[in-house]
Structures are given as C-alpha cells and as structure tokens.
Amino acid sequence: MTLGEIKDVVREHFGRMGLPTVILDVALAEGRRLIEREANFWWMRATTTFNLVINTQDYLIGSALAVNIVNFKDARAINFKKSTETRWRPLTLGTMDQEELDVMYPTDSIGPPEIALVDNVTLKVYPPNPDIAYNMKLYHYNWTDNPATNILSDDITKNYGMALIYSAIIWGYEIELKDQQGAVYWRELLGGKPFGRGGEIAKLKRQNLKRDWQDKIVLVPHAGANSFSVRSLAQSQGYGR
C-alpha cells in the first residue's frame, strides 16, 4: 500500500471527516513510533561517517553535530581507520559502562581508539585522547518517518501496511475517541498479548530475525552448555528487542 491508501483505510474507519488530516498524520507518525519502539528493525539501519579530533574524547550525536545523525535510536557497531588506510578495523562498542572505562583509562592516556560507548547522546572513545584524526564509521539504527507524500511507499507501508493501520487506529481510539477498551482490541491485533509477542509485531520480528541471520550466522552448540536454548524462529520474541 501507499501512504495515501493507508490514510484512506484509517479515514474509512473513523469517518472521512472524523479525523482531520493533520491529526491523521500525527496518528500515523505516532503509530510508526509504536512499532519501532518494539525493536531495531531492518529499515532503521544506517551508517554515518565522521572523524575523531586529536585529544577529544566526546562526540555529540545529533543533527549537524559531531556525529551528524538526525533521529538516532541505537548504535550497532563502529569501525575506524587512519585516513591513509583502505581497510576498516573493528572497535569494541558498548560492552563496558562509562564508569568502568573511566577507572581503566587515565585521563591523559593517548593512542588509537580501543573501545567506545554511547552515553545518552554522546559517543565516547577510550583512551580519551586520540593521537590522530581517525576516520570513523558508526553503524546505527534511526527512528524513521513515514513517506513524505501519499503516492510513496516504504517497507512498512508496502509489505506490513496492517501494522501501521492498526497502530494509527490505536492512537485514534486512545487520543481522539478516548476509548481505551476499543484500543485494546486493535492493540492485540498489532502486538498480541502480552504486547509485542503476537500479531503484526511478531511477524515483523520474525522477518527481522531472518534478515539479521543473513548478515550474521551464529552457531550455537546443540548439546552441552546452553543446550536448552537452541535458537529458532519460534522463540523470536527474545530477539530484536
């Protein structure tokens, strides 16, 4: 479906005049957030490059900031290289807390980055004083927007349109109609009960897991340690959150 078709379906539910277009746009934007809060999905992936600054540890993430990302949600991985190199090197990201790293690294330690973390909206590198201006490539997830015009579509509207319709209708019931009981019905269609383990959300998570496996094959021993936690699509609610 295009965005316009999704709008028409929601309008037919609330009445063609019942939900003003500007409010419908808000409902669809909030509906998309309701879906994206459930996981880091494939359509939210993006990469951003930036450079370290000598003797500078902190890099703000945001629009027109050091790490120029408009709707940052979550970091996935980070690589670095010297500007003269052609091969990226992986940098450990987010495996330790800031308080631990602050103890490990003296404030005057200098060198190439060894570990990084994202603290709120700041990306920090350790050791705290980069020796040169390394090239950095951050792999991350963004909050995304609905297509800009009615005649456009994206992966959600085109292949999971019901998810966006359900989520916009939930918003309409809760905010416009103030009908919590009505919203419960649509909420179960969107995310099952408990929320996030059924309905359209579960379909999205299963697809998310399949897409992730194409990139990262993880082999888990079938016997021995953790033998009772064999990964399967049926257990998909544990992934992608």
Total residues contacting another protein by CB under 8 A comes to: 14
DSSP code for 157: H
Question: Judged by CB, which is closer to another protein: 151, or 220?
Answer: 151
Is residue 229 at the binding interface for another protein, with CB under 8 A as the rule? no
18 in contact with another protein (CB under 8 A): no
Q: Six-digit token pair at 110?
A: 């200098």
CB of 7 to another protein, least distance (A): 8
Take residue 240 and report the two structure tokens written for it: 């992608």
21 touches another protein by CB under 8 A = yes
- Residue closer to another protein by CB (options 2, 48) is 2
List the one residue from 49, 55, 109, 150 that touches another protein (CB under 8 A): 150
Residue 123 to residues 49, 59, 61, 173, 241, Cα–Cα distance (Å): 13, 5, 7, 39, 22
Cis amide bond preceding 128, omega within 30:
no
Peptide bond into 127 cis (omega under 30): yes
Residue 10 vs 67, nearer CB to another protein? 10
Which is nearest to 212 in space by CA: 138, 141, 116, 118? 141
CB under 8 A: which stretch of 1-9, 62-70, 88-96, 200-208 binds another protein? 1-9
Q: Which of residues 159-218 bind another protein (CB under 8 A)?
A: none
Q: Please identify which residue in 63, 107, 149, 181 interacts with another protein, judged by CB under 8 A.
A: 149
Return the C-alpha torsion angle 125, 128, 133, 135, nearest 10.
-10
Can you tell me which residue has the tokens 């020796």?
131
According to the binding rule CB under 8 A, does residue 4 interact with another protein? yes
158 binds another protein (CB under 8 A): no
* Nearest residue (CB) to another protein, 29 versus 96: 29
Closest contact distance (angstroms) between CB of 150 and another protein is 5
Q: Which residue has the tokens 């090197």?
A: 89
Among 151, 220, 230, 233, binds another protein (CB under 8 A): 151
Torsion of CA 139, 120, 112, 94, to 10 degrees: -60
Closest CA to 191 of 182, 203, 200, 179: 200
| Footprint on this chain of another protein (rule: CB under 8 A) | 2, 4-5, 7-8, 16-17, 20-22, 148-151
